[in-house]
Amino acid sequence: MKESFPIEVADYAISKGIQDKPAFAWWIPHNVRKRKRFLGKVKSKYWERTSEGKRVLNGLDLQCADIQNAFLTAPAIEKCYLVAGPEFGEEEGKVFIVRRALYGLKSSSLAETLEDLGFSSSTADPDVWMRAAVKPDGEEYYVYTLCYVDDILCISMKAKEVMEGIGRIFKFKKGKIEPPKSYLGARLQKKTLDGHNMWTMSSYDYVVAAVKNVKETLKDSPKWKIPKNAPTPMTSADEPEMDGSSKLGQEDHTYF
């Protein structure tokens, strides 16, 4: 136990007041110091990332919009075809030529529009588009446009100007270009911290919805029950890599 779960055992011994017993006297201080060093490094990395994020977004504007019927009206600019599967019913086996853009194609009218505006698709994530720019004070930075199906989010000193450029080609839902309140399930808010205006992202709404979903699913389950006291999401003895249960069916796969 001491080797497999050193931190848990140390915490347990301290909570029970047996940390001075021969079995723990030398061992617990060593593990407590090790934990403090580990947490110190984690916190240091966290604040490095937070400070960098604050620096990058400081002074930049965020604007978003939804493209109306983005992939229903846009013509495909690639030559694509598909062989119909069983989901096509009587048409199964036939060859179809794709005439309208499908989400997931490497190119689309939206991609072409962004390229015309000087953006390049990121190698790491093709849905992240970027363009080099310079702030009024001479600082160089990148303008980012994030695309997910019909959701467009722009991060720039002149975000609305970029969105208006896209809007000249695509019609936005209700003609709206506005600061985002949420994006892909995350809550976005503009706040002031230490005199700096910045954007924050919270997963609160997503987590609330996920917990509600789990509760509803397990409410009438004869097999699973929600524990009344659960200090952690998983027990300390859990070994997911040793899971030998059968694979999920289609319904459970979709749920998870």
pLDDT, average across residues 100-121? 74
pLDDT at 224: 75
The rounded distance, in Å, linking the Cα atoms of 64 and 131 is 17
Residue pLDDT, tens place only, 132-186: 999 888 889 899 998 877 788 899 999 999 999 988 888 888 888 998 888 777 8
| Residue 196 pLDDT grade (very low, low, confident, very high; cuts 50, 70, 90) | confident
* Cβ neighbours of 56 (radius 10 Å): 14
Segments making up each domain of the chain, as ranges: 1-57, 59-178
Rounded to an integer, what is the distance from CA 63 to the centroid of its chain?
A: 18
Estimate the crossing angle of helix 6-15 against helix 27-57, to 10 degrees.
110
pLDDT at 227: 74
- Establish how many alpha carbons lie within 13 A of residue 183's alpha carbon, considering only the half-sphere containing its beta carbon: 21
For the question of whether the overall pTM of this predicted structure is more than 0.75, the answer is no
In contact, 31 and 19? CB cutoff 8 Å: no
Query: CA 157 → CA 49, 137, 198, distances in Å?
Result: 21, 12, 13
Say if residue 121's pLDDT is above 80: yes
pLDDT at 129: 92
The rounded distance, in Å, linking the Cα atoms of 124 and 70 is 23
Which is more confident, 50 or 17? 17
Say if residue 72's pLDDT is above 60: no
pLDDT, average across residues 86-115? 77
Say if residue 101's pLDDT is above 70: no
Say if residue 34's pLDDT is above 70: no
Q: Are strands 140-148 and 95-100 parallel, antiparallel or unpaired?
A: unpaired
